[in-house]
Each structure stands twice: as C-alpha cells, then as structure tokens.
Amino acid sequence: MREVTPLRVAILLAQFYASGQTRHVVDLARGLRRAGHEVVLVNTQPSACAQPHRDRFLRTLDEAGVELRYGDPLESDLEPVDVVHAHSTLDWGKADRLACRLARPFVLTAHGLGVTRKRLRPHLARAAVVIAVGRRVAAELQGHCRRLSVIENGVDTETFGPGAESGSAWLRARPQGQPFVIVYAGRLSASRRAAFHALAEAVAQLSGRRAVRFVVLSDGLPRLPPAVTERLGPNLDFRGWVWDTATVMREADVVVGCGRVIREGLASGRPCLILGPGYGGLVDPSLLRPDRGHDFSGSGPSSPLPSTARLLRDLDHLATHPDLRRRLGSEGRRYAVAHLSLEATVSATLEAYAAALRA
C-alpha cells in the first residue's frame, strides 16, 4: 500500500446487523485505522432493535481506535472531516446532507442490487464516488453516478487463516468414526431456504455413508422438514450467529455459503462450495482470475437451482479425496492472501477517497 496523507473519514452505519455488510464496514474502519487514518464511525440508528452482537462490534471498533458517535450525524460536531462514507441505503441521504453542510465530498458503497430506486438516484448522482462491491452491482449503477469504482469485499487474512493444524490431521483421510465436518454459514432468508434444504438433505444422505457433522452458523433457525431433522439427528450442530467464525472454519473440512463466507473460507485454507439462492459448485482457485472479478453470490446466471444429487456428489468427492482437499485448501489460501485481502480493499478505498477529494 503506497504512503498517503492521513485522512479523517466519517463512516455512517445505520445498524449492526448479523451480516456480511456490517462485517465489511467494521473491517474497513479497522483497516483504515491500521493504515494510519482517523476514523469516526456514526451509528445513526442506535436505538433500533435486532442488532445481534452490537456490543461485540463496538468493542472491536474501540480496540482498533475508531472514534464512535451515536445518533443523527447532522446533530454531531464531526469537523474536521475529509470524506463522508455511507454504506446502507438508510444512510445515503444523511451522507449527502452531512457532506453538503461540511462542504466535503461523500462516497457511497452499494452492497447489492436494487439500489437505483427513484428515491436513491439523487444521492447517487451527487456522490463524488460510488463504490460497487461487484461487477453485477456496477452494471446496475452505470449511468446513475459520476464516478464508479468496483471494490470487492476483503477479509482479514491474519484473522482468517488455516491454523497450526494446516497440512496435517484435517487434510488426511478420516480415521474410522471421525466425522467429516461441513460448515454452512449465512443468513437463512427466504431466497436461500430451498438451497439450504437441498444441502441438508444431501448431508443427511451422506451421513448414511460416513460419519459427518453439519455445523450451521446463521441468524435464524434452520426450519428443516421434520424428516430431514430426524435423519440428521445429533449430526446437526446449529450454533446461531457466531462472532468468531474464523475459529469455527478451522474445524471445517469444507465451507459452504456465498459472498463473504467464501472469501473467509478460502483465506482459512478450506475447500469451498458456493451456495446462495443457487448452487455455484466447487471453487477451484486455479480457475479464478482477478481481472474477471469474483462473483461468489450463488445467484448469477452460472448458478443453477440447487440439486441435492449434485451437492451430495461434490461433498462425497471431497470427503473421499484428501489430496483434492489439500490442493484446494492451500491454493485457496494463497489466492486469498494475494487477491482477497482487507489490505487490498483498504488500498482501493483510499484511491476512491483521493478521487473524491480531487473531484
């Protein structure tokens, strides 16, 4: 990362959701502090309900040296500020008005599709820079903003790593009776429910062939059909929304999920299966190309509807081929460090701030 003049950045965050978006904002603030910049994070809706682990997020930010404010940013004395940066669409209007009052540029990050609704377009048009977290998001934003930058989510590759056991026990063929550990992480929203049920059925069928443990990390209950729950029995290990997902991933033989979960799984040195609303299959790091971007959403045209048969085939193949797990894990870790790191995201974000200040 090239040396830059230290900035003071105001980041607006509406609520602390159990989501990859909140993780992204918190990690970005930490990464900016690590790079020597001042960050004040404003929790604009502190009284909102349903903010799991909010105190843990706040403690992490405080430990990183991020200044914390609460409430309407227009009622808080934030000066001096160089750049205002908002992520949730709940805060885009606030960022626009705050930047106007401070006579400073503002940057918006679009984390998903559906952000070009009529009420949001004026903010997109006035933003100095709009950041899209992927190419499909960027395609929707074309023509709605002055300057568009694609900056993908990055993960802290120091926090997410293979651990001391990498290359040893977890990579070898499982001794008789030792379970093959499948970790699913992600929100169990309506759009993902059918895919998750297909995965659970595949794991239930796999459990008839070998010992398995199905670890589920989510903000909601699995709500599986009773017959599937009964067949999984004690093999189902539902842990809810877990703060320390890095430790859980180090238990895994395979990580299943989409988006940020895949990036964390690769950084952890684990084979990964992309499962969102659709099934993107096994991630082969040797086929990834940084210049093409990384769509791990499981919702694009290359992600067909999930098939229990295909999921079972891929899980069984990984379970019976430790050499494949070893290759995918080690190549995934190297690729994540080189192309999916938090440092790369911070560096690109600083370039976006520089462009905003020049505008």
| Cis before 80? omega within 30 | yes
- Whole-number Å distance between alpha carbons of 68 and 197: 40
Q: Are residues 242 and 351 in the same domain?
A: no
Task: Clarify whether residues 145 and 201 are in a common domain.
Answer: no
Q: Residue 26 is part of a domain; what is its CATH number?
A: 3.40.50.2000
Using pLDDT thresholds of 50, 70 and 90, give the confidence band for residue 167: very low
SS (H, E, C) 276-305: CCCEEEECCHHHCCHHHCCCCCCCCCCCCC
Give residue 72's domain range: 8-154+341-358
Residues listed for the chain:
359
Region 255-275 average pLDDT = 96
Pick the closest to residue 18 from 49, 41, 47, 42 (CA basis): 49
Average predicted confidence (pLDDT) for the chain: 91
Span 251-267, mean pLDDT?
Answer: 96
Go through 206-228 and write b for each residue having 16 or more CB atoms within 10 A of its CB, e for each that does not.
Answer: bbeebbbbbbbbbbeebebeeeb
Q: What's the total number of domains in the chain?
A: 2
Indicate whether 210 and 333 sit together in one domain: yes
Task: Give the pLDDT of residue 212.
Answer: 97
In a domain, residue 177? The reply is: yes
Cα distance between residue 76 and residue 74, in whole Å = 6
Within-domain flag for 148: yes
pLDDT band at 1 (very low <50, low <70, confident <90, very high): very low
Average of pLDDT values for 158-181?
A: 68
The Cα 242–Cα 229 span in angstroms is: 21
Same domain, 100 and 189: no
160 domain residue, yes or no: no
Min mean pLDDT across 53-57, 172-176, 285-289, 321-325 is at: 172-176
Same domain membership, residue 67 and residue 204:
no
Q: Around 120, how many Cα atoms within 13 Å sit in the side-chain half-sphere?
A: 19
In the block, residue with structure tokens 């502190």: 46
Strand order in the sheet with 279-282: 236-240, 212-217, 180-185, 254-257, 272-275, 279-282
Let me know: does 258 contact 186? Beta carbons within 8 Å: yes
Looking at the structure, tell me whether residues 108 and 185 fall in a common domain: no
Is 267 a member of any domain? yes
Exposed/middle/buried for 49, CB within 10 Å: 0-12, 13-18, 19+? exposed
Residue 1 inside a domain? The answer is: no
Confidence of residue 343 (pLDDT cuts 50, 70, 90): very high
Is the separation of the CB atoms in 123 and 48 below 8 Å?
Answer: no
Query: Is position 77 within any domain?
Result: yes
Predicted confidence at residue 170, as pLDDT, reads 45
In a domain, 132, yes or no: yes
Task: Kindly report, residue by residue over 88-114, the tens digit of the pLDDT.
Answer: 999 999 999 999 999 999 999 999 889
pLDDT single digits (tens) 3-57: 568 999 999 999 888 778 899 999 999 999 999 999 999 999 987 665 667 888 9
Whether 290 has a pLDDT exceeding 50, the answer reads yes
Residues 209, 297, single domain; the answer is yes
Domain match, 195 and 137 both: no
